[in-house]
Structure 1
């Protein structure tokens, strides 16, 4: 099987033209609309140009033939595929500047609250990208995926539900870039650390039109034009006023400051998001003894204030808290001193 072959799907109706390969057993099939569909090698079969690749009879006859192929022929096909893929790697002008992205695409953007999300590595360069994709839980890391992305292609990694997004709140993508069978300018290894906010996946406007996908997507730059160093993660919080070490750090926990919209979120989900922000700031500042932090939570019914005080009593017992100056911050602010 090689790029340009016409193929049909064995497990479903349809087919197209082989546009490329991903990893060891994934083939990219371009359909009549120009969309590239990732399929396993076992789920497609090559057809002649004269055959109707949507014909059920054609599919069935080739499926029977595919079922009797032995492991030797499969391995030979994989080796042939690698050589074809390597020989057919197309370069473009300007592609020697690295540009690599982590992308999330909603499967059904019309039902953003219930849809799943496809995760891709986008390699917008003339280099092969050998990557590892890891996620963190506390201080321990787990390998989620590793493979090679061909030049100027998108690589499908995984599909995630809303409940699984929490698994990738902290991820790291490490990769090296190189070319086959030709000299190239050496690129420094990349290690990009990303913090992913799961709440954004509930908001349709988070996903923007782009040049890589027909659908709107959420794109995180790993290396973006010109630089071979990872794009630094600012993790700048909305409503947080950056202060010098000796000055008071002010963090506004109002939902209107933290979230672009609360559409689709109930009060419990909003409160949990505010507390995650509170705990994130506290953990970040616990090493700075004597540091003063003012959390603005508003007067309201006092639910957020009580939740903050509970967190302080149970998780940060060494810290001191008091009502912040109402002259400076109004009613509804708590000052915490790190000890």
Structure 2
């Protein structure tokens, strides 16, 4: 649905309506109601009531005064279901290791803090999640959203504005996973996460992934952080945050320390796809030629691992700008879709490696 400034709109979930006075993002607009107050409203909670809705824009036309509600894939849960008559849906046979994520999607990747971000809960499991999401406010927890999230789905919890980062925000998740039928009850999850704005300005903070069509910053909820660097960042000052924002784009990826391709055992194989681990000399090679060598190495190692009956294979691609990971996922969808792919251990690789499960 397309909404322009000046459109007369009605509220789907409330009485009344108003006039669109400004566009915040593709998902959010500001509406001046009948009392003259300007309020932010999600695009999917509005219906246009004037003839301007009939006008259309070509795909090539870009207009900052138009909000277009973007189509998401089937994994996006628009509304939270009622538990009455509870039925499990979207269950995937090979998704046996429950993983839950907090995901941040920037409205404008080049300026994530200034333009705001969408915050999602991602349920990458065959369990239904009963969840409570809150924000720590001094000595209190302010409830933001509660509900039930179905298997292998995601839900938009809130939009974060620039003002939300004036003090480093801390959010709390409480999650009870359950199924219709289970051999044992999975543990209750309680996780508190302080979002570090410095990290969101670093190169590679937002990466391609299997949950969204856009790059996302993912934090796995059922894996507590133990990295000493992460713990040190918990105490970073606001002054340092502002300095990092001013110096945005000046951060470079350190040279990787993984070494060459290593085959450990029949259960796990680790493959380093960094170009200097594959080729002794890259002089004269274009970026596209380097990428071709890396994808060829990916296919070669996949075929070898399948032939040798390896259970799991990890490809180290680094974070970088996400090009190699994106191509790797495309190749996986084209040739190896029957095998599950996911991020490898965050503790060991950060977001710089992907795990493919070949057999149980």
**Under a length normalisation based on structure 2, what TM-score does the superposition of the two structures give?**
0.42
Which of the pair is proportionally richer in helix?
A: 1
**Under a length normalisation based on structure 1, what TM-score does the superposition of the two structures give?**
0.44
